[in-house]
A and B are shown apart, each in its own frame.
Chain A
């Protein structure tokens, strides 16, 4: 049951509740950094890493520090400061100890503090704790959810980078050139993800 629910959470975060295409979170990097495949992958890897790390820290702080002390209303301010601090810390640690990784991921880190997908993942997972009735939502589920959200971001970015590389050779009407056609193709990619709705529930029935 636990494994089943973990797999269900993971798949749902990638396919049916994709943060970019179904929840409209993290649109800026999705549109801005998806022109080339390697930058898209680098950005997604950095986002996934910070998402899991941020959830790992914010989830216990909220559950065991803020809620028992009636400080849940400080959630927004505490979470954004934790994320900003974590991103700085990761940047410093990578720069000092793993310069190779810093070279490939470090450039994306400053952007991540203000990426709403990160704050969104850490906050939405807490709403799920309160609303999910099919199974108890634990720390493990929260981490898997963050990992799935990151991988979902990667899937969306890689798919979209592919679409955009094809778009470059397309003959686009003048007023649609640039961002408008990018948004319209994003609309089609999002449309394809609608096909997944209900997929995970059917595949892994929990209730």
Chain B
């Protein structure tokens, strides 16, 4: 019973508590770029979820085989393989989605949610929880994208999923500035709810970034500039 509950938790934590987009600030590029319509958002979310579940499963299976030193290139290769498969499937069965996602479909390979889950979860946990974790994070990503997609499509084109809802169109919402704005407002909302629940809010995209362990450049991790300068010197020496 206890076992079952924890599996459920692995799945649900990605949807609300640790939502990759709204709480961990991961995957910002696709979030801003492809949410110009609700259907685009779903296409992106489903494609990324498929890659995330598959790569989490394989990385978890290989977690004892991959040497620690070359783990990042190994993860990237595995992820790139699955991205290529997903790209081919989308091209064959949903060419319209392929056209509207464009460059952002292959760019799933550098989506930090996927590398982040590989580094933080799949490399340390057995297969089944890793798959559930990937599925949960994927659903959370899709939900956040859909939320943004609906808002931007509603105000920007006056439609939801292509159906006319509003008589007016505020074009700016489907342009890049509208993306930044809607995302900012959604994060503000998530922060407000998180603070009310007494949780800490993320104030920089670096904190959830999978590269933050190897990257010494963040001023967000160290507010004191002296420390980071010292680390830079150490790193160089």
Contacts and interface: CB of A to CB of B under 8 A. Distances in A.
Interface of A: 21-28, 31-33, 35-36, 39, 42-43, 73-77, 80-81, 84, 95, 99, 102-103, 106-108, 110-111, 113-116, 119-120, 123-124, 127, 175-184, 186-188, 190-191, 194
B81 to A, nearest CB: 6
Given A32-B220, A190-B177, A81 B80 contact: yes
A179 B184 contact: yes
Interface of B: 25, 28-29, 32-33, 72-73, 76-77, 80-81, 83-84, 87-88, 103, 106-107, 109-112, 115, 172, 175-181, 183-185, 187-189, 191-192, 195, 201-206, 209-211, 214-220, 225, 232-233, 235-236
B32 A27 contact: yes
Contacts, number: 174
A191 B205 CA distance: 22
Given A114-B112, A179-B187, A194-B177, 7 more contacts: A81-B77, A95-B236, A107-B216, A178-B204, A179-B204, A186-B180, A194-B175
Contact of B217 (A31, A111, A176, A188): A111
B219 A36 contact: yes
A190 B180 contact: yes
A77 B115 CA distance: 15
A191 B109 CA distance: 29
25 contacts: A23-B176, A24-B179, A27-B29, A27-B205, A33-B206, A42-B217, A73-B88, A77-B81, A80-B109, A81-B73, A81-B76, A103-B236, A108-B215, A111-B209, A116-B29, A123-B106, A123-B107, A178-B204, A179-B184, A179-B204, A180-B187, A183-B181, A184-B180, A184-B181, A190-B180
A165 B225 CA distance: 15
A110 B214 contact: yes
A76 B176 contact: no
Contacts of A115: 110
B29 A99 contact: no
Given A119-B109, A186-B180, A187-B184, A178 B29 contact: no
B176 A24 contact: yes
A200 B33 CA distance: 23
Contacts of B176: 21-24, 190, 194
Given A176-B188, A183-B184, A99 B201 contact: no
Contact of A187 (B178, B189, B204): B178
A77 B77 contact: yes
Q: Which of B81, B180, B187, B206 has the most CB of A within 10 A?
A: B180
A189 to B, nearest CB: 8
B180 A187 contact: yes
Nearest to A180: B188
B217 A33 contact: yes
Contacts of A31: 25, 28, 204-205
B32 A178 contact: no
A194 to B, nearest CB: 6
Contacts of A111: 209, 211, 215, 217
A88 to B, nearest CB: 8
A116 B211 contact: no
Nearest to A102: B236
B93 to A, nearest CB: 16
Nearest to B105: A76
